[in-house]
Structure 1
Amino acid sequence: MLSFDLSHQAAAFSAINQFIELSLNFEISDQQFVSYLEHLIPAFKAFDQDGVQYSASIQAFIEIVHWIDYKRGECGLGDYLIQLSLEQIKEVRRTLRKYRFAILAEIRQFRDQEGDNQKAFLKQVKTIIYDHNQLLFVRVDLGYLKDSMPTITIKDFYAHISSLIKLMKDKNNCFKHLLGYGLALEQGITKGYHGHLLLIYNGSKHDQDWYLGDMVTKKWESITQNIGYGRHSNTKEIKDKYDRQGILGLGMIKREHPSQVHNALKVAQYLVEPEKYGQMLLVKPLGRRSLFKGSYKPHGRQYQIKFVPPSIDPLHIVTGNQNDTAWLDELWIPDQ
Structure 2
Amino acid sequence: MIYSPVNHSQLISNVDRLVRDVLFGTISFQQIKSRLNEFYYSFMISFDPEFKYLKPIQAFIESTNIIVGDAYPYNVFWDNEKTVQFIQLLLSHEKTIRKDYSAWRYQSHQNGKRLENNVRTLISNYSRLLFVRVDLKYIQENSHHITIRDFDFHMKKLREAIHNGDTCFTHLLRYAWSLEQGEENGGFHCHLLLIFDSSKHYQDNYLADQVGQKWRDITDDVGYCFVLNTREYKEGLARYGKLGIGMIHRNNMQEVENAVNAALYLTSPDKPDGSYQRLKVSLPNMNMFGQSMTH
**TM-score, with normalisation over the residues of structure 1?**
0.80
Cα distance in 2 for partners of 1:224, 1:123 equals 33
Which structure 1 residue ranges, 5 or more long, are not aligned? Answer: 1-5, 298-336
* CA spacing shift, 1:264–1:64, aligned 2, 3 Å: same
User: Of 226, 232, 244, which residue of structure 2 is paired with 1:237?
Assistant: 232
* CA spacing shift, 1:28–1:241, aligned 2, 3 Å: closer
Say yes or no: does 1:123 pair with 2:121. no
Structure 2: which amino acid aligns with 1:140?
V
Query: Who is 1:49 aligned against?
Result: 48
Identity %: 34
Query: Who is 1:98 aligned against?
Result: 92
Relative contact order (alpha carbons < 8 A, sep ≥ 6): 1 or 2 greater? Answer: 2
Say yes or no: does 1:227 pair with 2:222. yes
Say yes or no: does 1:209 pair with 2:207. no
Query: Who is 1:252 aligned against?
Result: 247
* CA spacing shift, 1:75–1:147, aligned 2, 3 Å: closer
* Post-superposition offset of 1:166: 0.8
Query: Who is 1:147 aligned against?
Result: 141
* CA spacing shift, 1:75–1:107, aligned 2, 3 Å: closer
Say yes or no: does 1:278 pair with 2:276. yes
Provide the secondary structure at the position in 2 that maps to 1:146.
coil
Q: Deviations over 1:124-152 (max 9, x none)?
A: 11111111111100000101011111110
Superposed, 1:10-89 pairs within 5 Å as 10-26=9-25, 28-70=27-69, 72=71, 76-78=75-77, 81-82=78-79, 85=81, 88-89=82-83
Cα distance in 2 for partners of 1:121, 1:32 equals 41
Larger Rg: 1
Query: Who is 2:291 aligned against?
Result: 293
Query: Is contact 1:143–1:229 with CA below 8 Å preserved after alignment?
Result: yes
Structure 1: which amino acid aligns with 2:286?
R
Query: How many residues end up aligned between the 2 structures?
Result: 287
Query: Is contact 1:124–1:296 with CA below 8 Å preserved after alignment?
Result: no
Query: Is contact 2:163–2:294 with CA below 8 Å preserved after alignment?
Result: no
Cα distance in 1 for partners of 2:281, 2:131 equals 30
* CA spacing shift, 1:181–1:66, aligned 2, 3 Å: same
**TM-score, with normalisation over the residues of structure 2?**
0.91
Q: Deviations over 1:210-251 (max 9, x none)?
A: 110000000000000000010111111111221122111111
Q: Deviations over 1:254-313 (max 9, x none)?
A: 11111111111110111110335811111110121100111367xxxxxxxxxxxxxxxx
* Post-superposition offset of 1:92: 2.1
Query: Is contact 1:118–1:273 with CA below 8 Å preserved after alignment?
Result: yes
